[in-house]
A and B are shown apart, each in its own frame.
Chain A
Amino acid sequence: MSVAVQNTYYHSQSFVTSPSGGGIDHDSSGKISENIMKAISQMRQSETFGRPLNTMLTSLSEVYKECSHTDWNGYGAEAITSDTYKEARTLIYALPFLMPMPDIVVEPTGDIGFEWRKGKEHVFVASVGGKHQMTYAGLFGGNSVHGSEYFERGLPSVIVQHIRRLYS
């Protein structure tokens, strides 16, 4: 379901960049924004960047269909809501370009999780539930972490640091 990108060095740019208009006039800002979106669109169609992103979006769409009704796991699981689905899409677009692509895992609470796995007991997961909050947990050999972070558009730096730690 996922595509692992071998390069472990991450570009700081996400799949979508929010153009900032700070310090320039509105028209210039609009043109820059348009150009950036055009560049991103071209990049998305490339083999290198487009395929992992599209694979992730397709996987997300599939799990949304499969788990958009209650009791999808036989134990009374909650359905994925449209808010959760939209937030998961936002998170996918916010992933840095060269970050290894995670597996998508739906939780019985209806939250959508993203799992990065390096090997046995080296795994990091972060989930969204449509409430602008990411909940995460990770195992790094003998060490572990867990917590939550506010999430709206950009991937919280704490999350990026933990994923880097996993692959370092």
Chain B
Amino acid sequence: MQVNATETLARYIYSKNDYKASNHTVKYSAFIPPKEDGRLSVYRILGLGENEIWEIGEHLRPRALLARADIKATSVSETGLTIDGDDIPFRHAHIVGWPQEDSAKKLKALELAEKARLSVR
């Protein structure tokens, strides 16, 4: 499913390792895809209010939602990655097209983290 360039994507954060509240930054670890499938899970949040956005993340995992990193779809495209909106579950998408090399993957994650906006719960 096509994701519009003007959309914003949310990466929900469940570990305090993945952000630093004191300087309001997202750590690159929040954007490193899992080894097994190389697909980074995100949610499309265009048109949703703050409460609705948090509510999605609260029901995804059996653990406390701590924060989220919002990133524009254009920023993802600028790094050379693509967004695959599968809508399973509703509003879900993956950031795909990651390079094979670990260091190149790390660089992409770093770029995404720098462009993301942190919101702490």
Tell me if B114 and A108 are in contact (CB < 8 A): no
What is the CA–CA distance of A148 and B105 in the complex, to the nearest angstrom?
12
B36 contact set on A, CB distance < 8 A: 76
Choose one: A76, A123, A144; the contact of B34 (CB below 8 Å).
Answer: A76
A146 contact set on B, CB distance < 8 A: 101, 103-104, 106-107
What is the CA–CA distance of A148 and B106 in the complex, to the nearest angstrom?
11
Choose one: B17, B28, B35, B60; the contact of A109 (CB below 8 Å).
Answer: B35
Q: Mark A45-85, 1 if CB is under 8 A from B, else 0.
A: 00000000000000000010011000011111110000000
User: Would you give the shortest CB distance from A78 to chain B, in whole angstroms?
Assistant: 7
Tell me if B32 and A108 are in contact (CB < 8 A): yes
| Most-contacted residue by chain A among B15, B34, B63, B101 (CB, 10 A) | B15
Given A72-B15, A74-B15, A123-B114, decide whether A148 and B103 contact each other with a Cβ distance below 8 A.
yes
What is the CA–CA distance of A66 and B14 in the complex, to the nearest angstrom?
12
Tell me if B114 and A121 are in contact (CB < 8 A): yes
A120 contact set on B, CB distance < 8 A: 114
How many contacting A-B pairs (Cβ < 8 A)?
88
User: Would you give the shortest CB distance from B119 to chain A, in whole angstroms?
Assistant: 17
Question: 14 A-B residue contacts at CB 8 Å?
Answer: A73-B18, A74-B12, A74-B63, A108-B32, A108-B35, A109-B32, A109-B35, A115-B28, A123-B110, A123-B114, A136-B103, A137-B110, A146-B103, A146-B106
What is the CA–CA distance of A63 and B17 in the complex, to the nearest angstrom?
8
What is the CA–CA distance of A159 and B118 in the complex, to the nearest angstrom?
28
Tell me if A125 and B25 are in contact (CB < 8 A): no
Tell me if A108 and B103 are in contact (CB < 8 A): no
B103 contact set on A, CB distance < 8 A: 135-137, 146-148
A66 contact set on B, CB distance < 8 A: 15, 17
Tell me if A136 and B20 are in contact (CB < 8 A): no
B8 contact set on A, CB distance < 8 A: none
Q: Mark A72-105, 1 if CB is under 8 A from B, else 0.
A: 1111111000000000000000000000000101
Asked if B7 is at the interface (CB within 8 A of a chain A CB), the reply is no
Asked if B27 is at the interface (CB within 8 A of a chain A CB), the reply is yes
What is the CA–CA distance of A103 and B21 in the complex, to the nearest angstrom?
13
Given A75-B41, A108-B32, A109-B35, decide whether A139 and B17 contact each other with a Cβ distance below 8 A.
no
Tell me if B29 and A135 are in contact (CB < 8 A): no
Asked if B61 is at the interface (CB within 8 A of a chain A CB), the reply is yes
Given A63-B17, A74-B61, A75-B41, decide whether A108 and B34 contact each other with a Cβ distance below 8 A.
yes
Q: Give the contacts of A107-136 with B (CB-CB under 8 A).
A: 107-109, 113, 115, 117, 120-121, 123, 125, 127, 135-136
What is the CA–CA distance of A125 and B29 in the complex, to the nearest angstrom?
10
What is the CA–CA distance of A78 and B14 in the complex, to the nearest angstrom?
15
Asked if A163 is at the interface (CB within 8 A of a chain B CB), the reply is no
